[in-house]
C-alpha cells in the first residue's frame, strides 16, 4: 500500500451521487432502498469487536459514556464477558481510541435496523487466569498475561523473576515475597507486624 | 404487528423528550433527496389517521402519559411502532437519568440494555444511531415494508487462551499481528501518533510506517535506509499532514530505540544480581 496508493488517495474512492449506476447522470432523489450504496470511509458506523485481538482488559468499558459496553464477571466459572449492544451505542468512537490492541474496529456499516434487540448484541467471552496455589481465579484473563509478556523486555522478566509470579493472586505474591526476604536476609519482622504499625500511625495523624 | 403486507403506511411522529437531533433527521427523510413519500409513507398530523408511530427520544416522565394516549388513539389494526435513534431504542446516553421513566429491574444495565419507550409500548423496529443518518431510517422503514432484508445478527464469541486451538466456529484463537518492531515500541508510537493525526487515521499511517521499517531493517544501514524511504513517501504523498506524521514517526522511533538501550544498560549497572524479590 505504501508503494502503490498514498493514504489520501485511498479516501477518495467514495462517489456520493452513485453516478455510475444511472448512466452518468444522477437523479435528484437517491434510489437507495432499491440499490446498494456505500457510506464514505470516514463514516462512523457501529464499532466491531475483533475477537482475535481482544484481550479483555476493559479499557473500552471504562471509556464508554452510555454503557453500551459492559463487562460481566463470573468468577465461579472463571469467565468474564464483554458485551456490546449497538442499541445503546452513540458512535463516539471513544472505545476505538483507547483500545490498546486495536481490537475495536471502526466500520462504515449503517444497515443495522432490526426488529429485535437480540440481533444488536455482540458478546466476547474470556477465560480468567487461574492461581493454582490458592485455587482462585484472578481478575485478569490469560490473554492479558500473554500480552504483557510480549510488551515487557526479557531482561525485566529475569530481573524480577516475573515468570513464576505472574499467575498468582495478590496475597500469594505477598506471601512469597516475605518468604524470600526471610531466606535472603534471615532477620525480618513478620508481615502482619509491619502492617499493624503503619495503620496505627495513619490513625494518629487523622 | 402481525404478518400483513404493508403498502402505504401513514405515520405520526412523537417526540418523547428527544434532543431534536433525531427529529431533524426525520425531516431530512421527507426532503426531496431521500424522498420517503415515494415508498407510500406519509406523515399525518393526527394519530387517529396513522398506521405507524415514529418515536424519538428516551421517554421522559413528562412525555410518558402523552405517548401512552397517542398509542391508544391509533387505530388498533396495524399499530406499528418505530423507535428512531439510540435514545428511543434503549434510553441512550440518558439511560440512568432521574428524569426518565425506566422500570427495568437492572436500570438498563442488562444484556439487552432495556430502556426508553419500550417500557410502555411494544416496538416493531429499532433504528439505533445518534442520530441515525437518513439512509439508516430509510433502511429501517423499507425493512418494515419488505423491500430490504435484515442484515444484523447477534454474535457470541469464545476468546480462547493463547495456547488452545479452536474446535468450533465460534471459538477464536489469540493472535498478535507480526510486526518488524517489538510490541512496546509499537504501542508507544501508536499513542504518540494520536496526538499528531488523531485516532481515526493513526492505524493506517502506522501500518505504512511498519512496512517501511520492515524494508529498512533488511538493509545494512537501517537509519539511512529508513530516512530515504520516508523521504520518498513524503514526496509521493499529497496530504502534507500524513507526510509530516511519517517524519514524526521516524524521529520518535529512533529516539525510542536509543532510550531503551540506555535504560537497559542503566538497569544492568544498578542491579547486577537478580535476587528474585
The answer, yes or no, to whether residue A20 has pLDDT greater than 70, is no
What's the pTM value of the predicted model, to 2 decimals? 0.84
| Confidence at residue A97, expressed as pLDDT on a 0 to 100 scale | 92
The answer, yes or no, to whether residue A101 has pLDDT greater than 70, is yes
Local structure of residue B6 (DSSP, 8 states):
P
| Confidence at residue A197, expressed as pLDDT on a 0 to 100 scale | 46
Delineate the domains of chain B, giving CATH numbers in brackets.
10-144 (3.40.50.12280), 183-270 (no CATH)
C-alpha cell of residue A56: 479483555
What percent of chain B stands above pLDDT 90?
68
Distance from CA of B203 to the nearest CA of A (A): 8
| Confidence at residue A187, expressed as pLDDT on a 0 to 100 scale | 54
Comparing CB atoms, the residue among B177, B199, B233 nearest residue A96 is B199
Local structure of residue A130 (DSSP, 8 states):
E
| Confidence at residue A79, expressed as pLDDT on a 0 to 100 scale | 94
Number of H helices, E strands in chain B: 7, 7
CA terminus-to-terminus distance, chain A: 63
Mean pLDDT of B177-206: 90
Mean pLDDT of B180-186: 91
The answer, yes or no, to whether residue B89 has pLDDT greater than 80, is yes
The answer, yes or no, to whether residue B21 has pLDDT greater than 60, is yes
Confidence band, pLDDT 50/70/90 cuts, at residue A80? very high
The answer, yes or no, to whether residue A198 has pLDDT greater than 60, is no
| Confidence at residue A1, expressed as pLDDT on a 0 to 100 scale | 40
Top-confidence residue, A91 or A163: A91
Please calculate the CA angle A87-A89-A92 and round it to the nearest 5 degrees: 160
Q: Which of these ranges, B9-23, B58-72, B255-269, has the smallest mean pLDDT?
A: B255-269
CB count within 10 Å of CB A87 equals 29
Element (H, E) at B212: helix B183-216
Tens of pLDDT, residues B49-66? 999 999 999 999 999 999
Class of domain A1-20+32-130: alpha beta
Mean pLDDT of B157-183: 91
CA terminus-to-terminus distance, chain B: 68
How far is residue A168's CA from residue B118's CA, in Å, rounded to a whole number? 46
| Confidence at residue A205, expressed as pLDDT on a 0 to 100 scale | 43
Comparing CB atoms, the residue among B35, B89, B277 nearest residue A29 is B35
Provide the residue ranges of all domains of chain A, joining segments of one domain with +: 1-20+32-130
Confidence band, pLDDT 50/70/90 cuts, at residue A202? very low
What percent of chain B stands above pLDDT 70?
96
Contact B175, A103 (CB under 8 A): no
Q: CA torsion, points A18, A20, A24, A28, in degrees to nearest 10?
A: -20
Confidence band, pLDDT 50/70/90 cuts, at residue B258? very high
| Confidence at residue A21, expressed as pLDDT on a 0 to 100 scale | 60
| Confidence at residue A158, expressed as pLDDT on a 0 to 100 scale | 76
How far is residue B226's CA from residue B241's CA, in Å, rounded to a whole number? 19
The answer, yes or no, to whether residue B103 has pLDDT greater than 50, is yes
C-alpha cell of residue B150: 435484515
Residues from chain A contacting residue B159 (CB–CB below 8 Å): 51, 54, 56, 124-127, 141, 143
Mean pLDDT of A55-71: 94
| Confidence at residue A201, expressed as pLDDT on a 0 to 100 scale | 47
The answer, yes or no, to whether residue A2 has pLDDT greater than 50, is no
Q: Mean pLDDT for chain A?
A: 81
Top-confidence residue, B117 or A192: B117
| Confidence at residue A22, expressed as pLDDT on a 0 to 100 scale | 59
| Confidence at residue A15, expressed as pLDDT on a 0 to 100 scale | 59
| Confidence at residue A25, expressed as pLDDT on a 0 to 100 scale | 61
List C-alpha distances in Å: B133 to A5, A12, A43, A109, B94.
30, 21, 10, 12, 20
Pick from B43-57, B190-204, B250-264 the range whose average pLDDT is largest.
Answer: B43-57
A&B contacts, CB < 8 Å: 238
| Confidence at residue B62, expressed as pLDDT on a 0 to 100 scale | 93
| Confidence at residue A145, expressed as pLDDT on a 0 to 100 scale | 92
Tens of pLDDT, residues A174-188? 888 888 777 766 555
Residues from chain A contacting residue B153 (CB–CB below 8 Å): 119
Mean pLDDT of B38-56: 93
Confidence band, pLDDT 50/70/90 cuts, at residue B171? very high
Does residue B175 belong to the interface with chain A, where contact is any CB pair within 8 Å? yes
Q: If contacts are CB pairs under 8 Å, which of residues 28-87 in chain A contact chain B?
A: 28-30, 32-34, 37, 39, 42-43, 46, 49, 51-56, 65-68, 70, 83, 85-87
| Confidence at residue A4, expressed as pLDDT on a 0 to 100 scale | 57
Amino acid at each position: 500500500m505504501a508503494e502503490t496508493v498514498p493514504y489520501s488517495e485511498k479516501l477518495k474512492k467514495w462517489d456520493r451521487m452513485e453516478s455510475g449506476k444511472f448512466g452518468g447522470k444522477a437523479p435528484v432523489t437517491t434510489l437507495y432502498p432499491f440499490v446498494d450504496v456505500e457510506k464514505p470511509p470516514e463514516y462512523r458506523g457501529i464499532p466491531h469487536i475483533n475477537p482475535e485481538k481482544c484481550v479483555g482488559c476493559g479499557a473500552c468499558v471504562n471509556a464508554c459514556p452510555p454503557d453500551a459496553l459492559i463487562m460481566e464477571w463470573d468468577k465461579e466459572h472463571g469467565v468474564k464477558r464483554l458485551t456490546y449492544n449497538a442499541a445503546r451505542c452513540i458512535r463516539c468512537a471513544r472505545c476505538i481510541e483507547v483500545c490498546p490492541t486495536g481490537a475495536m474496529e471502526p466500520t462504515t456499516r449503517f444497515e443495522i435496523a432490526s426488529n429485535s434487540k437480540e440481533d444488536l448484541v455482540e458478546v466476547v467471552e474470556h477465560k480468567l487466569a487461574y492461581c493454582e496455589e490458592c485455587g482462585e481465579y484472578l481478575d485478569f484473563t490469560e490473554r492479558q498475561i500473554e500480552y504483557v509478556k510480549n510488551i515487557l523486555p526479557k531482561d525485566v522478566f529475569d530481573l524480577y523473576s516475573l515468570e513464576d509470579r505472574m499467575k498468582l493472586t495478590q496475597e500469594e505474591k505477598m506471601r512469597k515475597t516475605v518468604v524470600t526476604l526471610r531466606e535472603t536476609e534471615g532477620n525480618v519482622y513478620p508481615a502482619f507486624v509491619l502492617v499493624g504499625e503503619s495503620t496505627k500511625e495513619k490513625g494518629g495523624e487523622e | 404487528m402481525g404478518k400483513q403486507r404493508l403498502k402505504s403506511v401513514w405515520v405520526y411522529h412523537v417526540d418523547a423528550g428527544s434532543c431534536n437531533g433525531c427529529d431533524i433527521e426525520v425531516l431530512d427523510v421527507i426532503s426531496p433527496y431521500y424522498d420517503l413519500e415515494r415508498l407510500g409513507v406519509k406523515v399525518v398530523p393526527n394519530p387517529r389517521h396513522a398506521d405507524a408511530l415514529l418515536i424519538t427520544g428516551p421517554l421522559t416522565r413528562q412525555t410518558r402519559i402523552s405517548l401512552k394516549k397517542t398509542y391508544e388513539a391509533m387505530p388498533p389494526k396495524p399499530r406499528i411502532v418505530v423507535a428512531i435513534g439510540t435514545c428511543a431504542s434503549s434510553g441512550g446516553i440518558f439511560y440512568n437519568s432521574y428524569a426518565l421513566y425506566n422500570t427495568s429491574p437492572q436500570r438498563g444495565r442488562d444484556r439487552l440494555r432495556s430502556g426508553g419507550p419500550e417500557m410502555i409500548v411494544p416496538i416493531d423496529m429499532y433504528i439505533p444511531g445518534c442520530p441515525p443518518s437518513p439512509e439508516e431510517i430509510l433502511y429501517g422503514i423499507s425493512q418494515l415494508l419488505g423491500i430490504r432484508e435484515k442484515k444484523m445478527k447477534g454474535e457470541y464469541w469464545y476468546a480462547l487462551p493463547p495456547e488452545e486451538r479452536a474446535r468450533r466456529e465460534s471459538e477464536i484463537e489469540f493472535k498478535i499481528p507480526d510486526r518488524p518492531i517489538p510490541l512496546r515500541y509499537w504501542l508507544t508510537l501508536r499513542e504518540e501518533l494520536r496526538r499528531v493525526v488523531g485516532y481515526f487515521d493513526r492505524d493506517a499511517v502506522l501500518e505504512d510506517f511498519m512496512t517501511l521499517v520492515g524494508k529498512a531493517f533488511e538493509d545494512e544501514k537501517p537509519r539511512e535506509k529508513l530516512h530515504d524511504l520516508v523521504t520518498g513517501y513524503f514526496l509521493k504523498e499529497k496530504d502534507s499532514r500524513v507526510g509530516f506524521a511519517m517524519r514524526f514517526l521516524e524521529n520518535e522511533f529512533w529516539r525510542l530505540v536509543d532510550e531503551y538501550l540506555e535504560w537497559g544498560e542503566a538497569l544492568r549497572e544498578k542491579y547486577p544480581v537478580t535476587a528474585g524479590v
